[in-house]
């Protein structure tokens, strides 16, 4: 395993696809314009906590161990590939997606990478159900949490409740969009936990700890927790840990956008951790009135839905508001509660557009 600090991200980061943030890379939403439902691997955002590790599959091992299982299970790469597999289409979104709006909208900055809305992507993930691995290790009835741990320098790790670990679509993935995982997206294997923010979907997984009591690590006590007024300190954590995704939407336009006058189709995508998108509404007058956008194509739970609407526009300065609602009745709010680390910004955003 090697770490290259002069090349923290391995794949190409063309400026038309990404905002280069050093160890991270934000997808430009205009890069999804004209694309199919899935986010191509060459446009999928990158969230790292250090340089992308380069791991030799021949020497890689995955261990399932801990007091919550009867015996240790160790698999090499080929053994993992030979196990029964499933495919899951879902999004992965950084919990800090939208963080920059705490500063730009609320004038209250937050620590962390200055994501706008491009720390999200949808892919088809193929892998082995985590449930199967736990069962082969002899999962005990007393098991409480499951904690995957990565082989990156930060040793990324995040416990999830046993019920979430046992869901059919929680998998140890080894393929993305029909190809082996690339190094930046977790090769040889990563965990995928649909419906939760991607901090739980640990990349470069090498160990899965099964505990009989709650596990406390920096990633659920100090980071990826909600800190600030109105957030209760829970146990050893500085605040409640981020878990399930909220409902959110974005337009397939540059930020800010410059468009020619005339009639055009505006497109975007909306998503929620609670399930399918029920509707998307848009406003061209600052929220005074709203109109329904048309949902198009697949609308898979915990992935996203594409939407579009027609706009006949004259030269001038505009803001487009988009508001999504999911099947559970959750609607994007007008404002998002501030927290010190800038997580969970899912309020309606005013997208600036200059028409010439």
pLDDT in tens, 304-343: 999 999 999 999 999 999 999 999 999 999 999 999 999 9
Residues 252, 32 contacting (CB under 8 angstroms) = yes
Domain membership flag for residue 129: yes
Domain membership flag for residue 187: yes
> Which tens digit of pLDDT belongs to each residue from 146-195?
999 999 999 999 999 999 999 999 999 999 999 999 999 999 999 999 99
Cα dihedral 246, 251, 254, 257 sign = negative
- 307 shares a domain with 183: no
β-partners of residue 157 are 149
Q: How far apart are CA 210 and CA 212, in angstroms?
A: 7
- 309 shares a domain with 187: no
Residue 85 has pLDDT above 80, yes or no: yes
- 191 shares a domain with 46: yes
Residue 28 has pLDDT above 90, yes or no: yes
Give the three-state DSSP class for 219.
Answer: helix
Residue 7 has pLDDT above 90, yes or no: no
CATH code, domain with 318: 2.60.40.650
CA trace torsion 173, 178, 181, 182 (10° rounding) = -160
Phi, psi (rounded to 5 degrees) for 26 = -95, 130
> Which tens digit of pLDDT belongs to each residue from 197-208?
999 999 999 999
Q: How far apart are CA 203 and CA 273, in angstroms?
A: 20
Averaged pLDDT of the chain: 97
Mean pLDDT of 115-131: 98
Confidence of residue 235 (pLDDT cuts 50, 70, 90): confident
Phi, psi (rounded to 5 degrees) for 78 = -65, -40
Distance of CA 291 to the CA centre of its chain: 28
Domain membership flag for residue 64: no
Mean pLDDT of 50-61: 97
- 172 shares a domain with 284: no
Residue 3 has pLDDT above 90, yes or no: no
What is the model's pLDDT at position 109? 85
pTM reported for the whole predicted model: 0.97
**For residue 271, what are its two tokens?**
């998503």
- 254 shares a domain with 165: no
Count up the domains in the chain and report the number. 2
Residue 256 DSSP symbol: S
Residue 94 has pLDDT above 80, yes or no: yes
Q: What percent of the chain has pLDDT over 90?
A: 95
What is the model's pLDDT at position 129? 98
Half-sphere exposure of 130 (CA within 13 A, CB side): 32
Domain membership flag for residue 214: no
Mean pLDDT of 92-107: 97
- 261 shares a domain with 183: no
- 345 shares a domain with 276: yes
What is the model's pLDDT at position 226? 96
Contacts with 324 (C-beta within 8 Å, 6 or more apart), sequence order: 247, 248, 249, 270, 271, 272, 277, 279, 280, 331, 332
Residue 5 has pLDDT above 90, yes or no: no
Residue 230 has pLDDT above 90, yes or no: no
Domain membership flag for residue 90: yes
Cα dihedral 44, 48, 52, 56 sign = negative
Residue 2 has pLDDT above 80, yes or no: no
CATH code, domain with 29: 3.90.420.10
Residue 234 has pLDDT above 80, yes or no: no
Confidence of residue 298 (pLDDT cuts 50, 70, 90): very high
Mean pLDDT of 294-299: 97
Residue 353 has pLDDT above 90, yes or no: yes
Domain membership flag for residue 221: no
Domain membership flag for residue 231: no
Residue 105: give the domain boundaries: 2-58+72-133+160-198
What is the model's pLDDT at position 212? 98
Residue 352 has pLDDT above 90, yes or no: yes
Give the three-state DSSP class for 103.
Answer: helix
- 184 shares a domain with 44: yes
Give the three-state DSSP class for 79.
Answer: helix
- 127 shares a domain with 12: yes
- 257 shares a domain with 191: no
Q: How far apart are CA 201 and CA 217, in angstroms?
A: 15
**For residue 287, what are its two tokens?**
């929220």
Mean pLDDT of 124-133: 98
- 258 shares a domain with 193: no
**For residue 105, what are its two tokens?**
């909208």
Give the three-state DSSP class for 269.
Answer: strand
Q: How far apart are CA 185 and CA 191, in angstroms?
A: 11
Confidence of residue 4 (pLDDT cuts 50, 70, 90): confident
Mean pLDDT of 16-35: 97
In sequence order, which ranges of 190-269 are alpha helices (DSSP H)? 218-221
Contacts with 192 (C-beta within 8 Å, 6 or more apart), sequence order: 88, 90, 92, 125, 127, 169, 170, 171, 172, 173, 201
Residue 46 DSSP symbol: B
Domain membership flag for residue 144: no
Nearest in space to 352 (alpha carbons), one of 289, 286, 291, 280: 286
- 103 shares a domain with 29: yes
Q: Are strands 248-251 and 262-271 parallel, antiparallel or unpaired?
A: antiparallel
């Amino acid at each position: 395993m090697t770490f290259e600090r002069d090349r923290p991200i391995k794949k190409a980061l063309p400026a038309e696809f990404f905002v280069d943030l050093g160890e991270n890379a934000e997808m430009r939403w205009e890069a999804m314009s004209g694309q199919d439902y899935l986010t191509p691997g060459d446009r999928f955002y990158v969230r790292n906590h250090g340089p992308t590790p380069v791991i030799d599959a021949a020497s890689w091992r995955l261990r399932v161990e801990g007091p919550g299982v009867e015996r240790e299970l160790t698999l090499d790469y080929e053994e993992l590939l030979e196990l029964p597999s499933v495919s899951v289409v879902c999004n992965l979104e950084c919990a800090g997606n939208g963080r920059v709006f705490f500063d730009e909208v609320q004038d209250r900055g937050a620590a962390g990478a200055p994501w706008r809305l491009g720390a999200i992507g949808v892919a088809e993930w193929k892998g082995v159900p985590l449930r199967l691995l736990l069962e082969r290790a002899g999962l005990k009835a007393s098991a409480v949490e499951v904690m995957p741990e990565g082989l990156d320098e930060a040793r990324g790790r995040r416990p999830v409740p046993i019920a979430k670990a046992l869901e059919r679509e929680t998998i140890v993935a080894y393929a993305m969009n029909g190809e082996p995982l690339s190094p930046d997206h977790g090769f040889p294997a990563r965990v995928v936990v649909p419906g939760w923010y991607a901090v739980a979907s640990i990349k470069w997984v090498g160990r899965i700890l099964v505990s009989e009591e709650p596990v406390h690590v920096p990633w659920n006590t100090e980071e990826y927790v909600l800190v600030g007024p109105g957030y209760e300190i829970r146990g050893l954590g500085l605040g409640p840990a981020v878990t399930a995704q909220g409902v959110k939407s974005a337009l397939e336009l540059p930020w800010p956008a410059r468009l020619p006058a005339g009639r055009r189709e505006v497109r975007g995508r909306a998503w929620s951790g609670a399930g399918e998108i029920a509707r998307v509404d848009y406003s061209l007058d600052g929220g005074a009135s709203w109109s329904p956008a048309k949902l198009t194509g697949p609308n898979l739970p915990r992935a996203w839905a594409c939407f579009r609407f027609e706009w006949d526009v004259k030269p001038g300065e505009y803001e487009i508001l988009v508001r999504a609602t999911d099947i559970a009745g959750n609607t994007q709010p007008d404002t998002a509660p501030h927290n010190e680390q800038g997580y969970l910004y899912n309020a309606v955003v005013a997208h600036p557009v200059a028409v010439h």
